[in-house]
């Protein structure tokens, strides 16, 4: 991370004009190829290299990806199975193999509540997409961490296909990491057997182990181990933020991408999310209680149970957290353990102890409880989505006012004067306005804290495009709707994508490819994306329109800043 950025090559890798890494016409063509290929595998694609690639565990061979000239390597183990004695232990080295391993099939997903995934505890595998023709190239690397509240997700999700980004000169890596209780259980007995005296962050240790694997092996795939970017959405964005604070990840990557859930530490919205860090003492109380619910009183008894007993993380709430709302965070999530995470968000920022990495972070129009106007009647009928990590949705006057008084207490009257409502529709609109201001202001204020201890550039965004499809009127620009546009792959192909969607996907994936390459999303033919500046409360709108916008009016910015100052920092 200490190499000066101007020493890095700024070539595009493909030599194509416009759009940074990929020209407009070529970009749209690549997106169309990938869209068709995901609907029906292409037989015309050709691998970028036919020779096996040597990793530290053995030789692997790839298969043609969805875009011609890109090779995919699927299901490569980066660590050993987590079953048996390795359950609730740091990841162990991957076993070696003889001959050439054909990496043509995704590996098992981490155990979770799913009826469609092939799952097992031998799940610590990763996938690579590369357009490099050999190991002599040094392309920038993007390591992607999925979301899912730390209780669901897999690196093999088709939304994360890296073919288009790889065609724009990036080596893309998606990984699996442990989830739920298998990833984040803490107990005194587990801490006692650990050489650092801690427990509870096995999923984060998996991510760090994957980054170490990338550091040792990615050059063979044409990647540059000195130019690694880590990115993710939701819990993956939270993981990115935690790795950006963890001393164990220092030097393993240079840049961060966080799609949603980057918040100011004193924002109560942070508290119901999966990224609301647990205190070690709280986690050590919750762990034995959870074990007892499974009929296990000892660690040996817990390890003897089948993994299917531990897939309930998505249904378990942490009732100990006062979120200033009816929402509650997932029970199993990362822990401030003094080792992987020495301190929480604000304490880390105040100590200037974060890793000095570039940062790109943002939020979406219709998330955190904001919903499209066309969905008001739906939510009045459906009611609050009562699940861990889900935000409350306020679309009636009574609910809106009640929630405001719970959240803002002595400042509630001032809030209701700034965001007034006299009936249900006005309340739903006012709630949307407040939620969107909250998210933009919160990320802006986070930036003021982050940049005090990190000297690299920061870029922030606000995603506003509502994808087509059956959920357009209900979900809008929902939580996670930006992912396929950033990847440029518009999955699934049956969703009714338009020329506008393909243009947006080309633009967003070009922004991302440029940022991964040189720390700046800007490039030829792209709308100018200004860097974040403390004291300039603006954010880059992307998606439906492009350009800087105010995070909130001056009066509302002052209100949110004063309100956050009354809250305890996380």
The bridge status of strand 538-542 relative to strand 458-463 is parallel
Pairing of strands 125-130, 71-77: antiparallel
Q: Where are the domains of the chain?
A: 5-369+439-533
Beta strands in 417-467 (DSSP E): 458-463
Q: For the chain, how many helices (H) and strands (E)?
A: 17, 16
Burial category of 319 from C-beta neighbours within 10 Å (exposed 0-12, middle 13-18, buried 19 and up):
exposed
Q: At what angle do helices 424-450 and 397-408 cross, to 10 degrees?
A: 30
Active site residues: 234, 367, 479
| CATH architecture label of 5-369+439-533 | 3-Layer(aba) Sandwich (3.40)
Q: How far apart are the first and last CA of the chain?
A: 27
Alpha helices (runs of H) in 331-423, residue ranges in sequence order: 345-350, 376-382, 397-408, 412-418
CA distances from residue 277 to 168, 188, 194, 389 in whole angstroms, order as listed: 36, 18, 20, 13
Per-residue pLDDT of the chain (570 residues; tens, 9 = 90+): 333 232 222 222 333 333 344 444 344 444 444 544 444 333 333 334 568 999 999 999 999 999 999 999 999 999 999 999 999 999 999 999 999 999 999 999 999 999 999 999 999 999 999 999 988 999 999 999 999 999 999 999 999 999 999 999 999 999 999 999 999 999 999 999 999 999 999 999 999 999 999 999 999 999 999 999 999 999 999 999 999 999 999 999 999 999 998 999 999 999 999 999 999 999 999 999 999 999 999 999 999 999 999 999 999 999 999 999 999 999 999 999 999 999 999 999 999 999 999 999 999 999 999 999 999 999 999 988 889 999 999 999 999 999 999 999 999 999 999 999 999 999 999 999 999 999 999 999 999 999 999 999 999 999 999 999 999 999 999 999 999 999 999 999 999 999 999 999 999 999 999 999 999 999 999 999 999 999 999 999 999 999 999 999 999 999 999 999 999 999
Torsion angle of alpha carbons 54, 60, 66, 69, nearest 10°?
A: 40
Q: pTM, whole model, 2 decimals?
A: 0.92
Pairing of strands 278-279, 335-336: parallel
Q: Are 392 and 384 in contact (CB under 8 A)?
A: yes
Q: Which of 242, 208, 246 is nearest to 228 (CA)?
A: 208
DSSP state of 273: S
Tell which residue, 353, 530, 516, 339, has the closest CA to residue 450. Answer: 353
């Amino acid at each position: 991370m200490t190499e000066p950025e101007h020493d890095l090559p700024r070539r595009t890798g493909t030599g194509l004009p416009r759009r940074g890494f990929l020209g407009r016409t070529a970009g749209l063509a690549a997106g169309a190829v990938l869209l068709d290929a995901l609907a029906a595998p292409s037989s015309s694609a050709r691998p970028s290299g036919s020779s096996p690639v040597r990793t530290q565990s053995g030789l692997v061979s790839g298969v043609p990806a969805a875009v011609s000239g890109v090779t995919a390597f699927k299901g490569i183990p980066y660590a050993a199975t987590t079953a048996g004695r390795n359950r609730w232990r740091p990841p162990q080295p991957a076993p070696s193999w003889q001959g050439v391993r054909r990496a043509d099939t995704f590996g098992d997903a981490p155990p979770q509540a799913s009826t469609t995934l092939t799952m097992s505890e031998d799940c610590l595998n990763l996938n690579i997409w590369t357009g490099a023709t050999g190991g002599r190239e040094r392309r920038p690397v993007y390591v992607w961490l999925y979301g899912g509240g730390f209780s669901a997700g897999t690196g093999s999700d088709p939304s994360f296909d890296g073919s288009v980004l790889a065609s724009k000169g990036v080596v893309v890596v998606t990984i699996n990491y442990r989830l739920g209780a298998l990833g984040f259980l803490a107990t005194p007995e587990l801490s006692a057997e650990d050489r650092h005296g801690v427990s509870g962050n096995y999923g984060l240790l998996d991510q760090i182990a994957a980054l170490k694997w990338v550091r040792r092996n990615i050059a063979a795939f044409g990647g540059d181990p000195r130019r690694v970017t880590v990115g993710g959405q939701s819990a993956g964005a939270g993981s990115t933020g935690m790795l950006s604070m963890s001393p164990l990840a220092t030097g393993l990557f240079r840049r961060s991408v966080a799609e949603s859930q980057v918040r100011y530490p004193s924002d109560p919205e942070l508290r119901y999310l999966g990224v609301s860090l647990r205190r070690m003492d709280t986690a050590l109380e919750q762990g034995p209680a959870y074990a007892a619910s499974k009929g296990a009183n000892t660690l040996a008894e817990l390890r003897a149970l089948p993994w299917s007993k531990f897939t309930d993380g998505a249904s378990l709430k942490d009732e100990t957290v006062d979120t200033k709302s009816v929402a509650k965070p997932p029970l199993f999530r990362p822990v401030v353990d003094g080792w992987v995470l020495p301190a929480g968000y604000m304490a880390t920022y105040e100590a200037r102890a974060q890793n000095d990495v570039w940062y790109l972070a943002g939020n979406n129009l219709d998330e955190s409880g904001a919903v499209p106007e066309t969905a008001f009647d739906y939510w009045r009928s459906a009611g609050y989505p009562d699940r861990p990590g889900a935000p409350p949705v306020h679309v009636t006057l009574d609910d809106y006012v009640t929630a405001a008084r719970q959240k803002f207490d002595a400042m509630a009257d001032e809030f209701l004067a700034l965001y007034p409502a006299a009936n249900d529709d006005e309340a739903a609109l006012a709630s949307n306005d407040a939620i969107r201001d909250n998210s933009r202001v919160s990320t802006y204020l986070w930036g003021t804290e982050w940049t005090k201890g990190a000297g690299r550039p920061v870029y922030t965004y606000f995603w506003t495009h509502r994808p087509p499809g059956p959920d357009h009127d209900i979900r809008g620009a929902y939580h996670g709707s930006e992912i396929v546009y950033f990847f440029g792959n518009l999955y699934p192909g049956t969703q009714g994508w338009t020329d506008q969607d393909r243009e947006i996907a080309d633009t967003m994936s070009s922004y991302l490819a440029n940022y991964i390459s040189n720390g700046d999303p800007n490039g030829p033919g792209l709308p100018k994306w200004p860097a974040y500046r403390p004291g300039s409360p603006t954010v880059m709108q992307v998606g439906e329109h492009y350009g800087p916008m105010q995070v909130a009016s001056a009066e509302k910015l002052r209100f949110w800043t004063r309100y956050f100052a009354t809250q305890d920092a996380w």
